[in-house]
Structure 1
Amino acid sequence: MFVARGLLLLLFLIFSRCSGGGGGGMNPLIFLLMGSSGSKIGSIGTGAPRNVLVNWQANREKSVNSTGGGYKACYGINPSYQAATAVCSTVPYASGATAPTSATLSIPSGSQVYIYVLGYSSLNPNGTPAATPTTVQVN
């Protein structure tokens, strides 16, 4: 396990191009510095918050990279994304060729959570999560 003061985990979520409208259909290739994918229920710790930096490759879909589009970087305890229980940080498109491709999530230490990145647009404001979440243990 990687334990350090001011823990900063860097996750690279690389998404392949999706077809159709609305930001959906992303299929991730996931590279981890820590953690593993699985189907177990995670847990939220009670320790001090730790910053987890999540980075991903830009989705090439025009609707994600224009006004009304962007990403949501989320964490939760379920292996499948559940909007009602996920804690999200919205990363809206501002200007330029693509929406920003990183977000910092503040996650309590002692947590074992799943990280999800969703592309959203004005056509699909709730977004669609990547097919496979990433599991992270926060110490």
Structure 2
Amino acid sequence: MASSNCFVLSIFMALSLLNINVGLAARHLLQMPPSLPGVTLPPLPSIPNLPQPTLPTLPTTQPSLPKPGALPPLPSRPTLPTLPSIPPLPSMPTMPTMPSIPPLPSMPTLPTMPSIPTTPTTIPFFSPPPSKTSP
């Protein structure tokens, strides 16, 4: 609880110190002389008129295209030399048979651990103190 009180107090102090600078800045602005009016810029010069270019006229007739029969014939495909044939792969040799593995002996039996009782069967009681008999 004390740490939250210290945190709130530190936030309050930080905000208080920030407000001091704001007050000093406001006082400084109030004590400054008034600013001078801005200087007006001279007017921009006018843009002179440029002559308008004329577009060339479009052709009225289309140029003639070459005729399909006038093209030269395509060259014939040259014959390529054939590759020599690859010899066949050798056959796989037969693998020798693996000898059989004898069976593993069975696991020995582990002795059992005696169980520890988790709850006492009887609760020990102290004997009651001797009673005082009054005559």
If asked which structure has higher relative contact order (CA below 8 Å, sep 6+), I would say 1
TM-score normalised by structure 2 residue count: 0.11
Greater fraction helix: 2
